[in-house]
Structure 1
């Protein structure tokens, strides 16, 4: 084959190759390059031909030079290069030996991996984002456990919530203790939502609302025609409906003694038999109870079965009354106000003295009473601003703790300038925070201020231990 034909074939191969090809002699001087070298290395073929690869490496065109390494190691090698055009290429160098074992040529192939590198970087970025999203999703899932109808702000409620989250993962019986209206049923629903039974039904039984004569049929169900007045198709009881879910016995202290033994048997054996039935049914449910009574005292008085008490009292959780966590009052009031504004399509807001009045009240009905009062205020207030005059008279009066009511302080502000009136309100709020909290950090969280601002204002108004 003539040299001209070989030249044509070689040029055709160089032009057709998708890889960049560089051919050097045995000393590393470039003899030929493929036409796509300019796109890869940023230099035309005429610039590269005749140059030494060592020189081109110094100029960072070949960085590093695969040919240089092949000439040194005398074997096929493969490296990654970063070109002046910002491309990432995988360079493979092949030595060509003569009959005496001397390298006479080095042929290198550079495969452009820029797109693959970008895809890898995109993948790594996507993977990192996915990890962040997974973390956020997990946080959202955990946040979803927080019910929408109560606010976790005070340290006491935060600690209870953390306990509820831990307990939810077990199957242990839980009894919520606390006054009426503190939100025991809300915590019970949250416990169910965080448990392994979350996909099952949450069956709430108001133990004080079911007549003793109907308790057995309501709780255990009945077969068709089992007694006079029984439905023709029979009926599943509330315990049966809780299968694979949660059975919540609200106000369990109201249960008559006569039915406590039957309920205990169902709880212990996790089986029920409908009235008129003969075949027991196995029921799997998580048991939660609540009461505003002291069950231990009821046991001592013979008003509550001791064995049922110990069955329910595996993990007792006491929810403190609202008067013992006053930092929740303003937050809850604002939360309920937003809900009710949406419900009644209003845009009302509290006057500062109204919040002060709410804080002074002892709230015997707890969160439920607070929610009802806020709804009353939203409905009855004639202006957008909810003034303290709209508060019920028993809230406007002196609180159980002997604080001066808002009415007197409200009248004291008459005749003052706006600045003086605002400062008077600010002083009262600061004094309240000072009395309720031990540190300025806790005071700052309560007041919605920076800790440094609280320190400055305490000093400004000379609020310290000596003034209290």
Structure 2
């Protein structure tokens, strides 16, 4: 039997399909779950397929995607709207395809109707215009990629997080006016990285670690007649680990800052409130610098930047050591789910070791060190269903999209899904998680 049909609810898909085929060629029908329930004879001839291979399968099945490129049924299922596009058959023909969602009285997806109307190759002018537009689009994509790469090279800052962009903006303002700045954040979170990229572009930098010298030597080094602050050439001084600066020298430093226009940068892994509570700074020091305090969030709170740094260092060390190591999606997800207590420094050393020691060019989750692979490997080798594993990937995509774009309108446009779908996915992967 050529036209086989699966019945769902009270809908006779075969009867409906035969009626539609009298009006439109190339009919296929999927139910509200995106499962194929009817294929017309003309559709099977057009795509050289057999009903037995398709009926009962979801539109996102890999076998289905090999025949329909792209799969319009799946596009309609995900977006909830009408889709009109072109589709490539296995014989190389280009078909114009229209997919339409059908909703019931409760606004629930009841079925998806798709019809394939004609082969574009029989209409020379339309085919030529289509090919021209496709070439122009490809050229624009190349130009856009080059522009993005150039901007990233010019800024030399590996970050897309709005949190870091805000920090850079404020640091740049302070720098342009030679104002002091107090930057706090966990070790390896990128404090010196941002300083060098903002201040180091136009000014020489001197870095000084406050925990490495005795108070008497420190005082002579900076406040003596031949100290650093007496030099006219010194532009910017970075005091690292300012919690190690003695209280007496803090007062001298404050006096100097108020009377001189040289840029002074203080860094610490502790905030000013923490340092004051620990008795590491004076109240005068706290009151002066709290207006100039900038907090750098750890990399685990900047998932978008975490993804960028992983990719950046993988490419960097592949080039440095002449290797071609790549990460499987599961390995990349395992690294994203790690809490990275050492922040950027730990990312750098981890990726360097991985590139140097990997036995195969493709690294999977189970091949990562134990601290990274335990959760991911246990998840993917346990009795979890395919849907559970797909939810893990989808959740990562949705969280990144909302971190980058913020609203359901922008996310739906970026992911090419309906706003309703974006709202549901935010509730599932973000709101629900925040409630626990």
Residue of structure 1 in register with 2:190 after alignment:
183
Aligned with 2:240 (options 230, 250, 262)? 250
Give the secondary structure class of the aligned counterpart of 2:280. Answer: coil
Classify 1:453/1:391 alpha carbon distance in 2 versus 1 (closer, same or farther; 3 Å): same
Mapping for residues 150-169 of structure 1, pairs under 5 Å: 150-169=157-176
Is 1:432 the equivalent of 2:396?
Answer: yes
Classify 1:457/1:331 alpha carbon distance in 2 versus 1 (closer, same or farther; 3 Å): farther
Gaps of 5+ in 2: 1-147
Partners of 2:422 and 2:327 in 1: CA distance: 25
Contact 2:401 2:411 in 1 (8 A): no
Residue of structure 1 in register with 2:319 after alignment:
342
| Cα shift at 1:406 | 0.4
| Cα shift at 1:376 | 1.6
Relative to structure 2, which stretch is displaced further, 252-261 or 375-384?
252-261
Residue of structure 2 in register with 1:291 after alignment:
268
Classify 1:439/1:167 alpha carbon distance in 2 versus 1 (closer, same or farther; 3 Å): closer
Mapping for residues 10-29 of structure 1, pairs under 5 Å: none
Contact 1:353 1:406 in 2 (8 A): yes
Residue of structure 2 in register with 1:380 after alignment:
357
| Cα shift at 1:380 | 1.6
Partners of 2:411 and 2:353 in 1: CA distance: 26
**CA RMSD between the two structures:** 3.9
Is 1:202 the equivalent of 2:205?
Answer: yes
Residue of structure 2 in register with 1:310 after alignment:
287
Give the secondary structure class of the aligned counterpart of 2:159. Answer: coil
Residue of structure 1 in register with 2:346 after alignment:
369
Contact 2:272 2:290 in 1 (8 A): no
Relative to structure 2, which stretch is displaced further, 437-446 or 314-323?
437-446
Report how many residues are paired.
283
Partners of 1:448 and 1:193 in 2: CA distance: 40
Contact 1:327 1:446 in 2 (8 A): no
Classify 1:153/1:457 alpha carbon distance in 2 versus 1 (closer, same or farther; 3 Å): same
Contact 1:437 1:443 in 2 (8 A): no
Gaps of 5+ in 1: 1-138, 223-235, 271-283, 398-404
More helix by share: 2
Give TM-score scaled by structure 2 length: 0.55
Residue of structure 2 in register with 1:355 after alignment:
332
- Deviation by residue 1:154-174 (Cα, 9 ceiling, x = unmatched): 222222223333333222211
Partners of 1:439 and 1:261 in 2: CA distance: 42
Is 1:262 the equivalent of 2:252?
Answer: yes
Partners of 1:169 and 1:145 in 2: CA distance: 19
Partners of 1:183 and 1:439 in 2: CA distance: 20
Aligned with 2:381 (options 389, 411, 421)? 411
Give TM-score scaled by structure 1 length: 0.52
| Cα shift at 1:244 | 4.8
